[in-house]
Amino acid sequence: MSKIIEEKQNVVIKFAGDSGDGMQLVGTQFTNNTASVGHDLGTFPDFPAEIRAPQGTLPGVSGFQIHFGSTEIYTPGDTCDVLVAMNAAALKSNLRNVNQNGIIILNTAGFDSRNLKLAGYQDNPLDGDLLNGFIVYKIDITKLTRDALEEVELGVRDKDRSKNMFVLGFIYWLYNRTPENTIQFIERKFKNDEVVREANIRALKAGYNYADITEAFSSRFKVQPAKMAPGTYRSITGNPALALGLIAAAQKTGLQLFYGTYPITPASDILHELARHKNFNVKTFQAEDEIAAICSSIGAAFGGNLGITGTSGPGLALKAEAMGLAVMLELPLIILNVQRAGPSTGLPTKTEQSDLLQAVYGRNGECPMPVIAASTPSSCFEVAYKAVKMALEHMTPVLVLSDGYIANGAEPWKFPKAADLDEINVSVVTSKESEEKFMPYLRDENLVRQWAVPGTEGLEHRIGGLEKEDVTGSVSYDPENHQKMVKIREAKVEKIAEFIPEQEVDSGKESGKILVLGWGSTYGSIKSAVTELIHEGYDVSHAHLTYIKPFPRNLGELLHRFEKVLIPEINNGQLIKMIRDKYLIDAKGYNKIKGTPITKNELKEEIIKMYS
């Protein structure tokens, strides 16, 4: 029987199941497949902090949302068109986000009395009218997977692990895809385990064929490729993008890369990525704690290497004293902070932008350090690269902010060629330049001191955390000198504003009624909301900060061209404090602190409210 093919402009699918159901893998595979057929996309993996949270419960639900289409996509989507729910808890925690007339695909095996009880359902939602208004497909995915694997010599528990591949198979069919890249992936991943490999491929094909032959699915969907700028693309998530940016910068400068770190969610994947690329002269060091992590990187930097450390909020707090040392030593160093919801341990797997003030101000003493922020998964590459350039050219530690949302979210990336990357000047002194005694704190016109590393004859010198005498670097307790050095360190960082680009307006006019000013991972939501409102006739613009310390030199002037400024943040109002302090404008905040991204629609409402 022939099936109808419906055309769609863009689609949001949410895969949800128990944290052991393999939903993240399904999401990643579908993402790669989606990217390879030329759609623009955005994703949002959302998983519990526990590796195996209590089975069947609401806190144990793991989800992966993907938004793809033939138009430009900036967010993973506010609500979904398709929900795949592997059990009752997955349905319960996601039902309110499914669009009217949306498709819900349910694994009926996940709705037995035990699962219903754990999810807190009094009555089985498969029977009542809770799901009226949706297109519901009830499939016993568990049984169908077991049937498909009847001839495979595996225990039932192991067979059930393949049910995610069954799901992926029928979603591939539903969206008119071929499963080839996933088959290749399975062959690579299980190349040494024939039985598991066979089970996964069979389940995948079974799901695909089931959708094809069953009467239940009468139509499938087709989405045209997006009109994206010509070029070669790949799919990328934020953490690997940071790692690649760092390696690219190290390769460009010829420096050995040293990454000292301590495992912490959601930053650990940066370590995992870097550890795989030792043939790029990369050394990774899993230190005994956060403090040793940054200190080992400072040691590497003292030795003339590209020293990098990475962490998340609680780890950044532990590194604060050593960051102060790096500021005092005026050595190049990169500190990556992949933010998560705090305070304290907070919500380790949920996103937040609440470390901004910690990044800018959170150290003892007057301790200025440049801070730059990534705004999308792919921008992590560029931001990491620029951070290295800034650190090396200005002899300063640089703090890079990312967050859990962009760390794990994926998007297509038109990646650069290595040859097209900016040049980076490294100012290592290779020999003694005069008969005079070497002066470690002598500065150039940009207030930058020289990098003299052990092993260089005649440049033996001592540095440390005690206040330095200007020029000589000797220990000094002189009050005049201390004030002078505090001012010099601040001026050195502020001088970087002369080397970074002016702030541009991302969407909308250069002046007007409302400017929405953002930073970090809210980029996609603000961009989508503002673009739609402009189409609807509103006078609204969007500017997005990458450089937070120092701010771009024209930022004040830009802000003053608008009647009102709205600053949405996933925190209790942090950038807004800095903007009000520095530019004395009456900016308004929109603050969401739920561990989830700001959605396009809630932001649109907020802007409209401000408009009137």
Report the residue number, 233 or 590, with the smaller CB distance to other proteins: 233
Nearest in space to 246 (alpha carbons), one of 205, 195, 305, 292? 305
287 is a contact residue toward other proteins (CB under 8 A): yes
463-492 binders of other proteins (CB under 8 A): 463-466, 474-475
**Please, which residue, 202 or 389, has the CB nearer to other proteins?**
389
Told to check if 70 binds other proteins by CB under 8 A, we report no
The continuous run of DSSP H or E covering 117 comes out as helix 113-119
- Residues in 256-275 at the binding interface with other proteins, rule: CB under 8 A: 256, 258, 260
DSSP string for residues in 312-345: -HHHHHHHHHHHHHHHHHT--EEEEEEE-B-STT
Determine which helix (DSSP H) or strand (DSSP E) holds 308, and give its type and residue range: strand 306-311
Q: Which stretch binds other proteins (CB under 8 A): 90-98, 202-210, 246-254, 339-347?
A: 246-254
Q: Which residues of 366-382 are buried (b: 16+ CB within 10 A; e: fewer)?
A: ebbbbbbbbbbbbbbbb
State which of residues 96, 157, 462, 535 lies at the interface with other proteins (CB under 8 A).
Answer: 462
In the DSSP assignment, the letter for residue 277 is: -
Interface segment toward other proteins; rule CB under 8 A; list 139-147, 240-248, 349-357, 497-505: 240-248
Q: Report in angstroms how near the CB of residue 385 gets to other proteins at its nearest.
A: 11
**104 or 295: CB nearest other proteins:** 295
Nearest distance in Å: CB 431, other proteins: 11
Q: What angle do CA 28, 33, 35 make, to 5 degrees?
A: 95
Residue 583 CB, shortest distance to other proteins, in Å, is: 35
Sorted by sequence, the CB contacts under 8 Å of residue 260 that are 6+ apart come out as 285, 287, 292, 293, 294, 295, 296, 297, 300, 307, 308, 309
Which whole-number Å values give the CA distances from 540 to 120, 535, 599, in the listed order?
44, 10, 17
**Length, in residues, of the chain:** 612
CA angle 358, 359, 364 (to 5 degrees): 65
Name the minimum Å distance from CB 130 to other proteins.
Answer: 40
Report the C-alpha gap between 246 and 254 in whole angstroms: 12
CB of 284 to other proteins, least distance (A): 9
Instruction: Tell me: does residue 329 bind other proteins (CB under 8 A).
Output: yes
Residue 322 is a binding residue for other proteins (CB under 8 A)? yes
CB closer to other proteins, 96 vs 417 = 417
Beta bridge partners, 82, equal 13, 103
Asked if 9 and 223 touch (Cβ cutoff 8 Å), the reply is yes
Q: How far is the CB of 25 from other proteins (least distance, A)?
A: 16
231 binds other proteins (CB under 8 A): yes
**Which position among 278, 487, 582, 594 is part of the footprint of other proteins (CB under 8 A)?**
278
Closest CB 29 distance from other proteins, rounded Å: 11
Cβ distance to other proteins smaller for residue 10 or 353: 10
Q: Please give the Cα distance from 399 to 605 (Å, whole number).
A: 33
434 binds other proteins (CB under 8 A): no
The widest CA-to-CA distance across the chain, in whole angstroms, is 90
Q: Which of 72, 158, 321, 532 binds other proteins (CB under 8 A)?
A: 321
299 binds other proteins (CB under 8 A): yes
**Paired tokens of 269:** 């994947």
The radius of gyration of the chain's CA atoms, rounded to the nearest angstrom, is: 27
> Does 357 help bind other proteins (rule: CB under 8 A)?
no
Interaction of residue 333 with other proteins, rule CB under 8 A: no
**DSSP state for residue 526 in the 8-state scheme:** H
Q: By CB neighbour count within 10 A (0-12 exposed, 13-18 middle, 19+ buried), where does 422 fall?
A: exposed
Nearer to other proteins, 157 or 188 (CB): 188
Answer yes or no whether residue 7 interacts with other proteins by CB under 8 A: no
Strand partners, 562: 512
Cα gap 63→239, rounded to integer Å: 19
The one among 41, 83, 300, 334 contacting other proteins by CB under 8 A: 300
Minimum distance, C-beta of residue 510 to other proteins, in the bound complex (Å): 30
Residue 221: its H or E element: strand 219-223
**Least distance from C-beta 588 to other proteins, angstroms?**
40
Tell me the window of 81-89, 201-209, 225-233, 514-522 that interacts with other proteins (CB under 8 A).
Answer: 225-233
Identity of the residue, 463 or 497, whose beta carbon is nearer to other proteins in the bound complex: 463
Site for other proteins in 92-131 (CB under 8 A): none
Residue 515 forms beta bridges with which residues?
Answer: 541, 565
Task: For the segment 401-420, give every residue that binds other proteins (CB under 8 A).
Answer: 415-418
Q: Considering only 45-53, 147-155, 448-456, 579-587, which stretch makes contact with other proteins by CB under 8 A?
A: 448-456
Closest CB to other proteins among residues 210, 262: 262
Residues 364-383 that bind other proteins (CB under 8 A): 381
Q: Binding to other proteins by residue 384, rule CB under 8 A?
A: no
Name residues contacting other proteins, limited to 156-215 (CB under 8 A).
Answer: 181
**Which member of 305, 312, 507, 531 binds other proteins (CB under 8 A)?**
305
- Among 457, 480, 498, 586, indicate the residue that binds other proteins (CB under 8 A): 457
User: Judged by CB under 8 A, which of 455, 498, 535, 537 binds other proteins?
Assistant: 455
The strand order across the sheet containing 10-18 reads 40-46, 61-69, 10-18, 80-85, 98-107, 135-139
Q: Is 224 in the site for other proteins (CB under 8 A)?
A: no
302: contact with other proteins by CB under 8 A: yes
Nearest CA to 471 among 438, 442, 436? 442
> Which residue, 54 or 299, is less far from other proteins as judged by CB?
299
In degrees and rounded to multiples of 5, residue 310 shows phi and psi of -140, 150
Residue 244's nearest CA partner among 383, 426, 338, 414 is 383
